[in-house]
């Protein structure tokens, strides 16, 4: 166990944070590869999963874990946006990337423009970086 102020974080718990962020960053790498190859739908999908894993890491810090996408975004807003722990812009970023993923995965007749995919990938990278910094500041990563 590692002592952090008045709280203790077991090494297994710290490993879980690492795994969440590692998965988030892998999704961002794949999103970038897909974008570079012109696979904009896949880029949006993977960018979204980068955010999903990062948000899951945050929720893990509150003892929460969800498999449903709607539960993750709702809980992220409840525990991190409404409390002011994260700026409200991150809720907007999450929703925008989630909406792009919905179009990419389920609206086959709709086109995603290159600019949409680029924005999704860039914003997802910023989101994951913000989460990484939050976790590091609390010595969870």
Query: What does pLDDT average to in each consecutive run of 10 residues of the chain (141 residues)?
Result: 48 89 98 97 97 97 94 98 97 97 87 91 98 96 87
Decide if 70 is inside a domain. yes
Q: Which two tokens stand for residue 130?
A: 């913000």
d(CA 108, CA 30): 21
- Our CA angle for 14, 15, 20, nearest 5°, is 100
Domain containing 62 equals 11-137
Share of the chain above pLDDT 90, in %: 83
Decide if 1 is inside a domain. no
CATH at 87: 1.20.120.330
Cα–Cα distances in angstroms (integers) from residue 17 to residues 9, 103, 139, in the given order: 11, 30, 10
Position 70 scores a pLDDT of: 95
Q: Does residue 7 sit in helix, strand or coil? A: strand
Contact indicator for 53, 21 with CB cutoff of 8 Å:
yes
d(CA 57, CA 63): 10
- Tally of structural domains, the chain: 1
Decide if 68 is inside a domain. yes
Position 25 scores a pLDDT of: 98
Decide if 5 is inside a domain. no
d(CA 3, CA 84): 26
pTM for the model stands at 0.89
Position 110 scores a pLDDT of: 74
Neighbouring C-beta atoms of residue 136, cutoff 10 Å: 12
Start-to-end CA distance of the chain, whole Å, equals 14
């Amino acid at each position: 166990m590692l002592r952090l102020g008045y709280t203790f974080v077991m090494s297994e718990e710290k490993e879980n944070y690492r795994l969440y962020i590692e998965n988030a960053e892998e999704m961002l790498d794949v999103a970038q590869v897909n974008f570079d190859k012109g696979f904009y739908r896949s880029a949006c999908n993977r960018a979204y999963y980068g955010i999903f894993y990062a948000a899951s890491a945050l929720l893990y810090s509150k003892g929460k874990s969800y498999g449903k996408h709607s539960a993750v975004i709702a809980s992220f807003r409840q525990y991190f946006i409404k409390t002011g722990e994260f700026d409200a812009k991150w809720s907007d970023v999450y929703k925008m990337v989630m909406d792009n993923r919905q179009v990419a995965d389920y609206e086959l007749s709709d086109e995603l423009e290159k600019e949409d995919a680029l924005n999704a990938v860039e914003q997802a990278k910023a989101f994951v970086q913000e989460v990484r910094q939050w976790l590091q500041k609390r010595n969870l990563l």
